[in-house]
Amino acid sequence: MGPKKKERDTDHSSSSKGGNTTNNGRVADSVQADHELFLQAFEKPTQIYRYLRTRHFLSPIFLHRTLSYMNGRCTRNHQNRKTCKLVNLLDSKVQKNSQNDVNTRSKFMTLTFLGFYDPKVNGCREPVKVETLLLQIGHKKRKDVSSPIMQISVGTTEVCINPNEDSPPPKAPTVSIATEDLSLRNGQQGNSYVLLLRVSAPIISESEPQPKRRRLSDASLTTGMLEETTRLFGAELVVYDRHSRCLLIDGDYELAMKEITSPESNGTSPGGSDKSLRLANASWSTVDSSHTAPPLNILIHGPMLKFRLEWANDPISALVDRPKPYVASASTQTTDKSSSSTSSSSSSVEKSQINSVDEPTVVRYQFLYNASRRQQTETRSDFRCPWCSLHCLQLPALLKHLRLCHSRFNFSHVGTEKGHVRIDISVNDAYDGSYSGNPHDLIAQPLALGASSGGAAFGRQGPTRRTPITATLVWRPRRMRASGQDPLQAEGDDGYEVCETQRPFITGHNRLYHHTSTCLPIQAKELDVDSENETDPEWLRAKTCMMIDEFTDVNEGEKELMKLWNLHVLKHNYVGDCQMGVALQMFLDAHGQELLKRNLYRNFILHLSNLYDFGIIAPATVLRTISSLQLILQRSPEHQEILKQAWLGQLFSKQEVTTVTST
């Protein structure tokens, strides 16, 4: 959430220039352009922080309350940690269980009925009967099983209808419910308790013809409690919800009642075997959003039961003195939370508790651009961060938060004067947003449909090798005491506190290498294998052969020998004349057979003599090489045959030539 910026017309530079009327338009243009630039400069970081804020809401990577400078946000204290011992766990748990919450102090929940209000009833009538029932609902994990429900009748009382507010009846009926009835099974979750209040009122105004509603209902017949001329009202109130949280606290309650018409027509009733159980279910599940008016409407127009709820240690019998109404401040908090929709009460309780506001100090943010042009936000009267609307509670915490979490900006705390805190903001040009972690995380493929090779950390193909890298996750340097109003003074340039042993947060193998031939990144598992230092790649060999083939002034035999020899030299990478003897010997070892097979004997001898002529090899080397070639020749008769045939053929053709020339 970016702060709303409004331009400040009282800006010094622009107003002074604006006074000059001759170049007013030009100045206005430049101001406009300047303003655009200003907005652009702040736009990107603001957008980034807006995105980060949303992400932090959805999936936080850390909690602000764990930060040392956000102490105020941590509502728990760690005092118990020191005294906590394993052997005491059970005892403390039992003890805690016995005094679970509100009703620990008290053994009974007492309802004091103040009256039944029905705007449709005029004048005083005879009192209505209020039946109080307690419903225990056991929750099952599985949804398809209907929840077991137990009903306990607590008592029936007579409550006067529409009592006069000014002179209420002196006595009020009460009902007490023992907390044993509300016992939560070993504190185990799964049981919730619902308080049911049923009012059977004698029928009233004739002006309202409701034949259907007046008709006998099946329920009233079976219970036999109601006469023909009664209307049945009901409402429910959750005492403990399914997480065993007590939702009712002391207070005056105004409970909107709903008329119950035909219990058996309700399809939602689970088929319980017990008849009264069925009745209970059927009657009370009529709180249905489809025919419920908005809660407030019900409170105004519908019938209403007023009662006071108290947790007490002693049961109270039948009639008590009518309690005095609460004083206004207390009663507004408690009364307005009772409504026909019972679940809303819990949230309002929490809200009323968090109401403590710090002393209102106005924080004013000034946006600096080019050191002269500035813009001011709407000031804020609390220490909320304007980018992530985080409530920092205190000024030092706010400054620290801004500095550390929004480091794309520079913040400077200019000063506090009469309740105003001014913070100057400029774009941090030195911000280094580069990724300093493991570079393999960057090149890793995002998870994809049917992708086989995910990144190292996210791979689903089992473990993969990763580069060793160390990232500092938790670091607790020795801190200096936060010195009151100016916490930024004690920090180094990077926003962290100065401490003696500063080390980089990420150390280790944080470089990415690439294969020389394919330019593909080298995965961690490939680091050990080095196969790319060969001196004769395939393409070079192919190219060498192709180039030799393109010669036109050498014969085929010479080309073949040159290919063999050049590739041999290429492969072994001989570097000097002195290695030629060895080179020749190795050449014969590797290619001697092939040489003879392809009838390149004479070409090789020519090659040798060339080497000798150019002074590269000694005569002894020539002799040794030829003799070793002869050795190969002697061992294989087939090569001798090839050589002989070639010699004979050459001799024959030569004789032919000589005869031709002679004739």
Contacts 24+ apart (CB under 8 A), 268-273: 270/146, 270/147, 270/149, 272/149
Residue 201: C-alpha distances to residues 58, 188, 207, 257 (Å): 51, 39, 17, 12
In whole angstroms, what is the distance from residue 625 CA to residue 622 CA?
5
Min dist. Cβ of residue 529 to other proteins (A): 6
Answer for the pair 633, 596: CB distance below 8 angstroms, yes or no: yes
33 vs 89, beta carbon nearer other proteins? 33
Smallest separation (angstroms) from other proteins to the CB of 461: 4
Shortest reach from residue 179's CB to other proteins, in Å: 54
Distance of closest approach, residue 291 Cβ to other proteins, in angstroms: 42
In whole angstroms, what is the distance from residue 459 CA to residue 469 CA?
Answer: 18
Name the residue nearer to other proteins (CB basis): 62 or 539. Answer: 539
Write a three-state SS string for 31-64: HHHHHHHHHHHHHHHHHHHHHHHHHHHHCCCCCH
Binding site for other proteins (CB under 8 A): 443, 445-453, 459, 461-462, 464, 515, 517-523, 525-526, 528-529, 531, 537-540, 542-543
Identify which of residues 125 and 541 has a Cβ nearer to other proteins in the complex: 541
For residue 406, give both structure tokens.
């929004």
In the complex with other proteins, which residue's Cβ is closer, 542 or 578? 542
Of residues 527 and 657, the one with the C-beta less far from other proteins: 527
Please identify, using beta-carbon distances, which residue of 202 and 454 lies nearer to other proteins.
454
CB of 448 vs other proteins, minimal distance in Å? 4
In the bound state with other proteins, the residue whose beta carbon lies nearer, of 98 and 531, is 531
* Contact status, residue 382 vs residue 360, Cβ threshold 8 Å: yes
Residue closer to other proteins, measured from CB, 404 or 451: 451
Angle in degrees, CA 521, 524, 526, rounded to 5: 80
233 φ/ψ sector (left φ>0, alpha ψ -120 to 50, else beta): beta
Cα–Cα distance between 584 and 624 in angstroms, integer?
10
Smallest gap from Cβ 44 to other proteins, in A, equals 9
48 CB burial (10 A radius; 0-12, 13-18, 19+): middle
Q: How far is the CB of 537 from other proteins (least distance, A)?
A: 8
Q: How far is the CB of 445 from other proteins (least distance, A)?
A: 5
User: 556-572 and 580-597 helices cross at what angle (nearest 10)?
Assistant: 140
Q: Which amino acid is at 114?
A: L
Q: What is the rounded CA–CA span in Å between residue 318 and residue 157?
A: 8
